[in-house]
């Protein structure tokens, strides 16, 4: 299960996951208390392996993080991944969006410069074999975006020499 949680309740979620034999993946969003990779790592540091990260690459890219560095920091504790590419606004635009409570990000086409090659390579090196879920925020794949994502995901899988995670559309 993926969840967007406040760090103050993560220990309780860990206890619930442990008691019920399930896994919980903490998802990062740019406007929450788990916005930065270090925030997610600190939350995971107090949890059992039942709780891991649900890396939403779009939210980390939106804030300007190097996605390969994110995978190196969180890869060992990653349970799930949301793949997407977004346009990165400047800090003033992000501040205005936050003030207006406009949390939606503008989708971008996947491809060169999206940071996913290094991300998937680093994640694979950490042994991640879970799902790479294509999170479509492009209004149902208008303009061929969904087809571009499927092609991009296949290329990412191929680049991992048979050690790539499974791809799905979410």
Boundaries of every domain in the chain: 2-169
Torsion, Cα of 26, 40, 53, 120 (10° steps)? 140
Instruction: Name the residue among 83, 84, 57, 58 with its Cα closest to residue 71.
Output: 57
Cα–Cα distance between 118 and 37 in angstroms, integer? 16
Angle, in degrees to the nearest 10, between helices 67-74 and 116-125: 20
Q: What are the contacts of 137-143 at 24+ separation with CB within 8 A?
A: 137/58, 137/84, 137/86, 137/104, 137/105, 137/107, 138/107
Quick: pLDDT tens for 3-35: 999 999 999 999 999 999 999 999 999 999 999
The CATH superfamily holding the domain 2-169 is Divalent-metal-dependent TIM barrel enzymes (3.20.20.150)
Tell me, yes or no, if the pTM score tops 0.95: no
Cα–Cα distance between 146 and 138 in angstroms, integer? 8
Q: Which of 45-49, 50-54, 93-97 has the lowest mean pLDDT?
A: 93-97
Q: What is the pLDDT of residue 143?
A: 60
Angle, in degrees to the nearest 10, between helices 37-45 and 67-74: 0
Q: What is the pLDDT of residue 148?
A: 87
Quick: pLDDT tens for 109-157: 899 889 999 999 999 999 998 888 888 776 655 566 888 888 898 888 8
Cα–Cα distance between 55 and 37 in angstroms, integer? 9
Q: What is the pLDDT of residue 154?
A: 85
> Which is more confidently placed, 147 or 165?
147
Q: What is the pLDDT of residue 21?
A: 97
Question: Position of tokens 């560095």?
Answer: 69
């Amino acid at each position: 299960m993926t969840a967007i949680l406040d760090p103050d309740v993560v220990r309780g979620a860990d206890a619930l996951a442990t008691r019920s034999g399930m896994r919980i993946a903490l998802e990062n969003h740019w406007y929450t208390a788990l916005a930065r990779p270090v925030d997610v790592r600190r939350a995971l540091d107090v949890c059992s392996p039942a709780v891991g990260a649900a890396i939403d690459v779009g939210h980390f890219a939106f804030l300007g993080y190097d996605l390969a560095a994110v995978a190196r920091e969180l890869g060992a504790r990653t349970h799930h991944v949301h793949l997407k590419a977004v346009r990165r606004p400047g800090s003033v635009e992000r501040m205005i969006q936050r003030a207006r409570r406009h949390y939606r990000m503008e989708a971008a086409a996947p491809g060169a410069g999206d940071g996913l090659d290094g991300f998937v390579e680093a994640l694979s090196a950490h042994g991640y074999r879970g799902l790479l879920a294509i999170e479509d925020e492009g209004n149902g794949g208008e303009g061929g975006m969904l087809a571009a994502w499927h092609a991009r995901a296949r290329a990412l899988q191929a680049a991992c020499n048979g050690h790539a995670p499974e791809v799905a559309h979410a």
